[in-house]
Amino acid sequence: MSHYKSNRRDIEFNLFEYLKVGEYYGEEPFASFDEETARDALREVDRVATDEFAASFVEADRNPPQLVDGEVLLPDAVKASLDAMYDGGWHLLGFDESLGGFGAPDSLRWAIGEFFIGANAATFLFASGGLMAGVIAAEGTPEQVEKWAIPMVERRWGGTMVLTEADAGSDVGAGTSKAIHIEGDMYHLEGVKRFISSGENDYYENIIHLVLARREGGQAGTKGLSMFIVPKFHVNADGSLGERNGIRATTLEHKMGIKGSTTCDLTMGMDEPCVGFLVGDSHEGIRQMFKVIEDARMMIGVKSAGTLSTGYLNALQYAKERVQSADLASMLDKSAPRVEIIRHPDVRRMLMLQKSYAEGLRALWMYTAMTLDKKKLHPEDEYWDKVNDLLLPMVKGYSSEKAYELLAQSLQVFGGSGFTQDYPIEQYIRDAKIDTLYEGTTAIQALDLFFRKIARDQGQTLMKFAEGIMEYVKGGTDEFASERQKLGQALEQVQNHVGVLVGYSMKAMHSPTEIYKTGLHTNSLLESLSEVTIAWLLLEHAEVAHLALADAQGDDIGFYQGKVASARFFVTDALPKVAVRASAAQAEDGWLMELSDEAF
């Protein structure tokens, strides 16, 4: 039986009952996908992900890929899982039709992505070729699109993002990999890159690396970086594969989790030239690479939410089946029958905690995915692009932190059994920890949220976004009047939190160390703004569910009741913390930064 438990019902609720994407599915630019087609796709991918794609989840963890003589060998089970995705054509879903794809809306692409990522994230990470092809198509010259992007789709080539260096880490601008101009768009690259996901494997006939390196004479920092197309195998004029290029996997990381994903050191130009081609014939590497980074950050948010969801659903099933101890109300009666542990108060509390946050994290990324649809539907309206930028650090940063935290509650429901490999929870936890670390740690997401997405924008996008929340606070139904009042108060408190941090930043113009006070409270701002946003989304979900209950039948009755319960629980659990964080930011005196290093 598959470890993976999907929640297609909640995904379809988000798409069709709350976001109402059916109103524009089937219309340009999404003419290929009407609502019926989308629902069919969701059903089929749910089946494929749960069965064939999830099948290698344990095998890849227990018997991970091996580096042998410079080649990474994948387990046969992983290859079979990838075959199931590729043979079904599901890798084509989000491709532009000009590349041979189906041109699906981003909301549907990411909804389908949750099934694959939740079922087997380590294996899904190999399927990045489409993203890299899309970046080449958007940024490359016509010749590069023809030579690289189209074959990547047609021939199912792999693709990677080659960014990180050991001594630079998240300080990307400190990278030392260099690019030596040869002729035209051709360069020779030299250097060592670290932590490259899917950097080498024996599944794809070719792998196209998108590499950041500094050209000779390039200025210091990120502005001096350029992006290059670096193939594993050279491609001949007739499209056939030639000799190996001078980029090799020299180390395979041994990791805490997500062991089925090959995380490599890639060495360029060690024994033979590493040939790369300047993307788009322009030196705008960091801007170009952010097209990859932003998609990767979205993927991590979906991965986090999907893993928490299957963790919760596994715990829920166990709690309904495991019989242990008498009902607490009968604890003095030694002859009282034993009950399923879902009848115990603390187990119910843990389950509702997981449920409300799992549904909340999904609501957050699904709303964010919808903004990508809106960007394409309304390219003249810059709000949708800006609000997507605002939400992305929350999707990546908050989701990864909360999922990792609450998967421990999934394990707790199992008791000691959850600590064993008899159940998938211990692997979920190990596989989820990386989400808080790669593509920018949580602190980096929080700094990005405040400095780039709020301060640089002078708060304009945040204010407009907050206006939408206030419209709900003032206009919802009486059924949720108490919760709306709490949401309104929390929104005011998070705006105060922003104001405090802006104040510290302004003072830093004259007293630089004041900026430390901002840095000490950006993570808490990320948490608070995320929780206010999720509370709003879940309450709007609850409004829809409350109305639907009048005509609900069968399983839908419990589902809609659960949506209302999730919203009320989340408001009660999360929103009181917003005021505490705002008060802490207001009271900050910066003493921690003045403490001597020896005191730690």
Which amino acids are annotated catalytic? Answer: 439
Across 298-334, b (16+ Cβ under 10 Å) vs e yields bbbbbbbbbbbbbbbbbbbebbeebeeebeeeeeeee
> Directed axis angle between helix 345-377 and helix 399-414, to 10°?
150
For residues 136 and 229, is the Cβ–Cβ distance under 8 A? yes
For residues 465 and 390, is the Cβ–Cβ distance under 8 A? yes
For residues 285 and 173, is the Cβ–Cβ distance under 8 A? no
For residues 175 and 140, is the Cβ–Cβ distance under 8 A? no
Bridge partners of 449, per DSSP, are: none
For residues 213 and 191, is the Cβ–Cβ distance under 8 A? yes
d(C-alpha 286, C-alpha 389), whole Å: 16
Residue 280, Ramachandran bin (φ over 0: left; ψ between -120 and 50: alpha; else beta): left
- No. of H helices and E strands in the chain? 21, 14
d(C-alpha 280, C-alpha 219), whole Å: 19
- Determine how β-strand 233-235 pairs with β-strand 241-244: antiparallel
Among residues 165, 166, 146, 164, the alpha carbon closest in space to that of 154 is found at: 146
